[in-house]
Amino acid sequence: MEHDAHTFFLHLLLILVAARLGAELAAWGRLPPVVGELSAGAVLGPTALGWVEPSPVIRLLAEIGIVLLLFEAGLETDVRQLLRAGIKASVVAVAGFAWPFALGFTIAYYGFQRPLLESLFVGGTLTATSIGITLRVLTDLRRQHSHVARLVLGAAVIDDILGVVLLALLYQFSSSGSIDLVRAGRLLLLIGAFFLAAPVAARWISLVVRHLDRTTEVPGLIPTAVVSLLLGFAYLAEEVGAPELLGGFAAGLALSRRFFLPFGLAMSADPGFAERIDAQMRPIIGLLVPVFFVMVGLSLNFRAVDWHSPFIWTFFPALLGAALVGKLISAVPIRESWATRLAIGLAMVPRGEVGLIFAELGRTSGIFDDEVYAALITTIALTTLGSPLLLKAYFQRFQHRLEAVDGTH
């Protein structure tokens, strides 16, 4: 036991330091930090140095990191932004969700004769959109309040919700080992009830915590209360048959400073309290979320992949093509200039952390083998790495046309 603790401390030290170094190097190269953290895991793991083999405790820390990651996504979700974006954002979101899923599933199931459940997971992985990466690029370009940004942000909210629901369905299928439409329908009803009830409960709990926060003399109440809420919601999500991370997303959505209760049951909110939650939770999120990304890199063993196999060199390019095309055509159905539609499509391309969650769930469920997992991770990495560069170049090239569009809205 003492030896296990000694090894755990060393491995966690290496993971945290490597994650930070990787993120700093990526940021220095003007790349998303997640790329550096993923690369750090690949270097520490069996692909390169082989210094770290994930222990059960580190895997649990990574799972908590996933819950915190989805909590942060929910906390930053603006439901009113979703309503303001209207029909156009909804069309972009549904198209950007449906096309990659259909293309990925078709390629895997019909093109490569992969099993049905695996093909569904492949399609699900390609549906993801990492709006955090896109928003960072638009902010760097000072275009975060542009017409394109409003449409993309509105679409991303719907995309997140669709993605989380799909993830819950695929999780249920993987747990049971088969596709049962009756159980899927029951799960959807439970998820709907969970999304309606959990935010209401969380809001009432937040009122109690806010009152206690004003009266307590003992520091640390907010992080303790929020983490307890997350763990409780994660447990309840698992109980209804959904992945734990759904609970994190619901809790973040409920505590968002931009949240309003369903059916008009609005409650007075304290913006300062939401900001205190954000400020006090950010160090915990910043500590544990990188553990998840490093874990993904550790789980990827490129040495185990048969690089001489024709499968990997045909499957990966096909997935990459589907990942790009599926998002690029997401804005085709809406009435906008071609320059605006292509900008929206490019902004929807990066998969980032959301795609990694899908891929990791497929791997840990035993659905993906090493070759399929490697193809998916490489696709996610390239879309995450390449799309910010393409988006910057595109905005600089067509700056005047896009500014003209902003002037008409």
Residue with tokens 């931009």: 258
Q: Picking from 100-104, 195-199, 239-243, 257-261, which range would have the lowest pLDDT averaged per residue?
A: 257-261
Residue 146 to residue 402: CA distance in whole angstroms: 9
**Spatial contact of 36 and 25, defined as CB atoms under 8 Å apart:** yes
Residue with tokens 């990466």: 133
CA dihedral over 34, 245, 371, 291, signed as positive or negative: positive
pLDDT per residue as tens digits for the range 22-48: 999 988 887 778 888 888 988 998 888
**Spatial contact of 372 and 315, defined as CB atoms under 8 Å apart:** yes
Q: Which residue has the higher pLDDT, 403 or 8?
A: 8
Quote the pLDDT of residue 263.
Answer: 31
User: What is the Cα 211 distance to its own chain's centre?
Assistant: 32
Residue 265: domain span: 2-407
Indicate the number of domains in the chain.
1
> 301: exposed, middle or buried (C-beta count within 10 Å: 0-12, 13-18, 19+)?
middle
Quote the pLDDT of residue 281.
Answer: 84
199 φ, ψ (degrees, to nearest 5): -60, -35
CATH number of the domain encompassing residue 37: 1.20.1530.20
According to DSSP H, which parts of 76-180 are helical?
A: 79-106, 116-126, 131-140, 147-176
pLDDT per residue as tens digits for the range 114-142: 998 899 989 988 988 876 677 667 776 77
**Spatial contact of 242 and 187, defined as CB atoms under 8 Å apart:** yes
> 103: exposed, middle or buried (C-beta count within 10 Å: 0-12, 13-18, 19+)?
buried
Closest of 274, 278, 194, 249 to residue 70, by C-alpha: 249
**Spatial contact of 348 and 155, defined as CB atoms under 8 Å apart:** yes
pTM (whole model) above 0.75:
no
Average pLDDT over residues 218-241: 82
pLDDT, averaged across the chain: 79
Quote the pLDDT of residue 268.
Answer: 41
**Spatial contact of 322 and 107, defined as CB atoms under 8 Å apart:** yes
pLDDT per residue as tens digits for the range 315-355: 999 999 999 999 999 888 888 888 888 888 888 888 766 77
pLDDT per residue as tens digits for the range 263-301: 323 334 455 676 777 788 888 888 888 898 888 788 777
Residue 42 to residue 33: CA distance in whole angstroms: 15
**Spatial contact of 126 and 378, defined as CB atoms under 8 Å apart:** no
Tell me the percentage of the chain whose pLDDT exceeds 90: 14
Residue with tokens 């899908």: 358
Residue 102 to residue 204: CA distance in whole angstroms: 40
